[in-house]
Amino acid sequence: MLARGEPLSEVLRSFLGDCSAGRAALGTWLSYLATLPTVHVRRAVLEHFLRTFEAAQHHGAQWRVVGPGGFTGKQHLPAEREQLDPMTGEITPGQSYPRTPAKRHCPKRSAGGIAARSGKSPRTCNRYRAALRDGGLIGSTQPNATASDAVLPRSGDGRWAYAQHWLRFPPTPEMLRRWRGRRRQPPVRPTAPKSHTTFSPARPPRADDLRALGALAEREN
């Protein structure tokens, strides 16, 4: 509906419903959106919310977004530090090597996540999400990678789990109708080994094995 250019109130009414709870949520949303500077930003922030909560699932006592469905996308790419000149055979700094390697931003077309689906950069998506938090509509937290409900791996080295996002207002009956029936995706947790395993240079552990073993070694009990 947003892509067709329909009014914000109609898009929200479709998602929130037209019951008393839906109208209350509609009023909250419209009053919040009115505080944003332009209609373009208002529509973009609403689009980001809808794309994020497409992945909502029942999580504890709430409906939350807990896994890769809420990931905005990769923000940085590894820098190409050196390259070989095929004509001279000389090693030179890579063309993509930035002054600060960690600041080489990933283009939105290859960032993945919500950024790729919405055609916006991860940084822009993060600004929209921060605006939703500041407006009191959603909450977010970054769980510890060893938490029992953490969904891994957001980062390849297993240090970071996916962030979790939830509503700061009760979901309306229409929202629940849309979300019910979704199968909850269990958190990705390392499985305890049946016995101590000895590796050898001829049979080294894979990267995934090392991440799982590292998480097991850091667990509290």
pLDDT at 33: 93
* Residues found in the chain: 221
| Separation between Cα atoms, residue 170 and residue 99, nearest integer Å | 47
| Separation between Cα atoms, residue 120 and residue 165, nearest integer Å | 20
pLDDT tens-digit readout, 54-95: 989 888 788 899 888 898 887 666 555 555 555 544 555 555
| Separation between Cα atoms, residue 197 and residue 65, nearest integer Å | 36
| Owner of token pair 């509290």 | 220
* Mean of pLDDT values over 172-185: 80
* Mean of pLDDT values over 153-171: 81
64 Cβ contact list (under 8 Å, min separation 6)? 56, 57, 164, 165, 166
Phi, psi of 98, deg, nearest 5: -90, 170
| Separation between Cα atoms, residue 189 and residue 64, nearest integer Å | 18
More confident residue, 102 or 214: 214
CA atoms within 13 A on the CB side of 20: 0
- Of 51, 215, 65, 190, the C-alpha closest to 139 is 65
Prediction pTM value:
0.70
pLDDT tens-digit readout, 21-36: 999 999 999 999 999 9
